[in-house]
Amino acid sequence: MADKRMFSLKIVDSDLFLDMPLSSQCLYFHLSMRADDDGFVNNPKKIIKIIGANEDDLKILIAKGFVIVFDQGIIVITHWKINNFIRKDRYKPTMYIEQKQQLYQTENGAYISEEKVGCHLVDQRLSSGQPSIGKGRLDKVSIDKGRGEQSTPIFYGEFKNVRLSKEEYKNLKEKLNSHTEIMINKLSRYMKSSGKTYQNHYATILKWYEEDKEKLRHQGGNKKMNYDVGESL
């Protein structure tokens, strides 16, 4: 792990950052200094005690979106890739692979948690061990390297929150034909309105289509149909 860290004025000079108590700002710097090369920290409570901060300071950082917390108490610095660029020959991948696989990365390089992934800025799922390159974005490498770019998620639907790989989208087009976009938008609207998420969007669409396909065929695939999202058509 490197012993030098950088901070971007885009982050630490923002009103959102400067409006926090000085103790929360101080904690952010100390957490960043002790993070691994992917921005993960496994002992935030220890650091809080060392610098004389308190857990409310960490809660503020979480609430303001400057860090993301995992169930095990591990945290990650949200804007790590914006703050830091680490040369490939010096980069050491994080040991917290499971937590990293729960993150996505936006186009500007910020981490975003899986439950907040229904945002059009999301670029791609993070690989388990690739360093930051260029403008802070990762190579388009699948978590499962054998699956290649076909497994990289792309976001579809009215609210850009339906997660499908290119291969899954292609399969839907083959199975659902002209009803593909109708079913994608149905799932997109339902997740947006209800706040619910699904582990596998491809499987959910196929299940809903099996329930709705007869009525879809009878109505000729009319995209202006009225129905209650989340229910059969």
- The pLDDT tens digits of the residues spanning 4-63 come to 899 999 899 999 999 999 999 999 999 999 999 999 999 999 999 999 999 999 999 999
| Whether residue 104 is found in the same domain as residue 203 | no
The residue-averaged pLDDT of 139-164 equals: 63
Tokens of 94: 């994080």
What number of other Cβ atoms are within 10 A of residue 22's Cβ?
Answer: 9
Q: Dihedral of the CA atoms 13, 14, 19, 21 (nearest 10)?
A: -50
Q: Does 112 map to a domain?
A: yes
Under the banding of pLDDT at 50, 70 and 90, the label for residue 135 is very low
The residue-averaged pLDDT of 178-191 equals: 92
The one-letter amino acid at 158: E
Q: For residue 230, what is the DSSP state?
A: T
- In contact, 119 and 160? CB cutoff 8 Å: yes
Q: Does 198 map to a domain?
A: yes
List, for residues 72-117, the tens digit of each pLDDT value.
889 999 999 889 877 777 778 888 888 887 787 776 678 877 666 5
Tokens of 77: 């610095």
Spatial neighbors of 127 by CB under 8 A, at least 6 apart, are 138, 139, 141, 142, 143
**Rounded CA gap, 158 and 187, in Å?**
9
Range of the domain at 203: 154-218
Question: In terms of pLDDT, which residue wins out, 233 or 214?
Answer: 214
- In contact, 188 and 162? CB cutoff 8 Å: yes
Domain boundary among 129, 146, 163: 146
| Whether residue 142 is found in the same domain as residue 110 | yes
Counted domains in the chain? 2
Tokens of 222: 């009319």
| Whether residue 119 is found in the same domain as residue 183 | no
Tokens of 79: 């804007």
Q: Does pLDDT of 136 surpass 90?
A: no
How much is the mean pLDDT over the chain? 78
Tokens of 18: 């400067």
pTM of the shown model: 0.47
Q: Does 1 map to a domain?
A: no
Under the banding of pLDDT at 50, 70 and 90, the label for residue 128 is very low
Q: Quick one: what percent of the chain has pLDDT higher than 70?
A: 75
The angle subtended at Cα 172 by Cα 169 and Cα 177, nearest 5°, is 125
**Rounded CA gap, 17 and 231, in Å?**
43
The residue-averaged pLDDT of 206-226 equals: 72
Domain boundary among 146, 162, 186: 146
